[in-house]
Amino acid sequence: MKLRHALVILFAAITLGPLSTRGAENAVTILGEGISRSELAGPGTKAAELKRLFDLVWRRAARHYVEHNGLDATAGEVAELATYHREFERKDRAQRARKLEELNQRLAALDLDAKQREWLEEFRAVLTRLARHDASNEGLTGPDAEEQAALSGPWIEFWKTNRAIYEQYGGVVALTRFGPDPQGARLALIEDYERQGLIRFHDAGLRERLLAWLAAPPPLVIPPGEVDFTPYWRRPIPPSYFPDEK
């Protein structure tokens, strides 16, 4: 019995280590949860390490912000996004079908040079493959409400959070392919959480590098008067190839 007890203690000491050592291994503590240095280790440069650190910190901070500010995606918002995607796909299919018909007519002409004909045939082949894919998906059952919420909820909350932190903190907004990115507000929120004690950095050098990385000016900045966090599904559906016919 004593031997078993001793082995249990020895195993715990080996796997857990002294409390002081375990605490020292954490680079950051956020909302009571540690981020260890081993989680930051990996291939790449120091910038890659900072990106891993930011992703781990922001995932927890953003979830906390969503929950404490009532920004969870609602059933109505999930349905709204699903409706937009259905309408977008319907219009896109119709536009591609019209474009395919137009290409067939153009390729029937005899006055095309070889290069132009080759390009049009490649374009037609792409649209034909897409049409076959559409046909194969006809009649398939889409995701149910629970699955739709799991798919769309994080995306909706991403947009709601970006708008909310910009309205609260302001700051520089970067123009990205995913829409406006409130880079300055994200930095301000992390600093605010640190002041509140919700985030604690255990490595001053790592903290300074992370904050400097977040404060670096983005390549493209949206002027303050032009910042608009209206999500794409609340904007008119843009034409794909040419305007819809009446």
Give the C-alpha separation, 236 to 234, whole Å.
7
Give the C-alpha separation, 57 to 34, whole Å.
10
Question: Is pLDDT at 98 greater than 50 in this prediction?
Answer: yes
- Which of 62-66, 71-75, 236-240 has the weakest average pLDDT? 236-240
Give the C-alpha separation, 200 to 53, whole Å.
13
Greater confidence (189 vs 11) lies with: 189
pTM here is 0.77
Give the C-alpha separation, 139 to 46, whole Å.
50
Tokens of 128: 């034909």
**Collapsing DSSP states into helix, strand and coil, what is residue 155?**
helix
Order the strands of the 33-36 sheet from edge to edge: 33-36, 26-30, 199-201
Question: Is pLDDT at 185 greater than 70 in this prediction?
Answer: yes
pLDDT at 24: 52
Cβ contact 35:52 at 8 Å: no
Length of the chain in terms of residues written? 246
**Collapsing DSSP states into helix, strand and coil, what is residue 27?**
strand
- Give the list of residues 6+ apart from residue 151 with CB closer than 8 angstroms, or none: 143
pLDDT tens digits for range 150-166? 889 999 999 999 999 99
Classify the C-alpha dihedral 15-20-25-28 as positive or negative: positive
pLDDT at 43: 82
pLDDT at 110: 78
What is the domain partition of the chain in residue ranges?
Answer: 75-137
Residue-averaged pLDDT of the chain: 87
What average pLDDT score do residues 32-52 get? 88
